[in-house]
A and B are shown apart, each in its own frame.
Chain A
Amino acid sequence: MTRLETYLTGLAVDGLISVSSQLDASLHFDLTFAEVEAAILGLGLCPARYQRNRQTISCAGQLALLRSTVAVIGCGGLGGYVIEELARLGVGRIAAVDPDLFEEHNLNRQLLATQANLGEYKVRAAARRVGEINPAVALVPHRRSFSAENGRELLGGATVVVDALDNMKTRLELAAVCRELRIPLVHGAIAGWFGQVATQLPGDDISVYLSGAGVGGKGVESKLGNPSFTPAFVASLQVAEACKVILGQGDPISGRMLVCNLFEMEFEEIRL
């Protein structure tokens, strides 16, 4: 057992290591908070912050989450909730991609938007929020739009990609780059009371779900807007999907799409 491992084992109470002990260990051994977290989980111990994860996610699973990278494309309604939940879940690296600043019309639904940070870049606010929640998580901000041209670079090293975009054209480009790189993609989209979720695993192609029937198809969100609860709901389904894909457990929604109607509380599964 290394000195660090002996130190951590001595600090464990009922298999848990508190945040303050984790911080002490990182200062004492000149390691990052994340490096200490990996050592804790490697010993089969659990950072106390994850104690309510334990019945759902094993220490080995928690370590897999810590070692994974999730690319979140879009940091608005869906992306804000996705980033928050990934950080609390303990995903070690989040690549956040969005060129925009917070504006007043984001306040009704975007978790990371506050009156105080109007005018701030969304990815910058995301980095600050993640740092406040969980210092084991590195948020890598990319203040740019995703495109077919920069996609390979932005998605490089990602374990899973989360589609939190706001337009169909870029969604189709994102899905194509994910197919090419064989990276699992969790798609989510919303409009008003309605949402949809589908996961594209390597070998799948979800582009038919993202294409309009007519020429120049336009999502109905421009008419319906988006209230606070729809992005929170769909983002949570997306994070559950990303979690399962990283852990290699459960059944992702591959080869099918869930269409959610929160107005009439109807859930439809489309299989193609």
Chain B
Amino acid sequence: MQVTVKLFASFRAGRTPIEVCDYPVGTSVADVVADKGVPVAEIGIMLVNCRHVHLDRELSDGDLLAIFPLLGGG
């Protein structure tokens, strides 16, 4: 299945900002995060098709996954 993965802000450094990727059926958000080498501890919001999801969410063909870093500075 194909999933569009969109990374934001600092997660773009050294990675492709938007990419259509092939994954096997059953792939979760956590699997994609690991595949992209995004540190889990730095992740803030994750959206699938503009809806907030958790790491264990299973993806479907055609999904758009957006991953934002956690910004904590002031």
Contact = CB atoms under 8 A, between A and B. Distances in A.
B46 interface: yes
A190 B73 contact: yes
Contacts of B10: 191-192, 194, 220, 223-224
A92 interface: no
Which of B51, B71, B73 is the most central at the interface, judged by chain A CB atoms within 10 Å of its CB? Answer: B73
B47 A189 contact: no
Interface residues of A, number: 46
Contacts of B45: 208-209, 213, 270
Contacts of B20: none
Given A191-B10, A220-B10, A261-B9, A74 B41 contact: no
B23 interface: no
Contacts, number: 108
B12 to A, nearest CB: 8
> Secondary structure of the A side of the interface?
mixed
Interface in A168-196: 168, 171, 188-196
A77 B73 CA distance: 9
A218 B71 contact: no
Interface in B32-62: 40-47, 50-52, 54-55
B27 to A, nearest CB: 16
26 contacts: A77-B74, A164-B74, A190-B73, A190-B74, A191-B9, A191-B10, A191-B71, A194-B10, A209-B45, A212-B42, A212-B43, A213-B54, A213-B55, A213-B70, A219-B70, A220-B9, A220-B10, A220-B71, A220-B72, A221-B73, A226-B73, A259-B8, A263-B9, A270-B45, A271-B50, A272-B51
Interface of A: 74, 76-79, 163-168, 171, 188-196, 208-209, 211-214, 216-224, 226, 231, 259, 261, 263-264, 268, 270-272
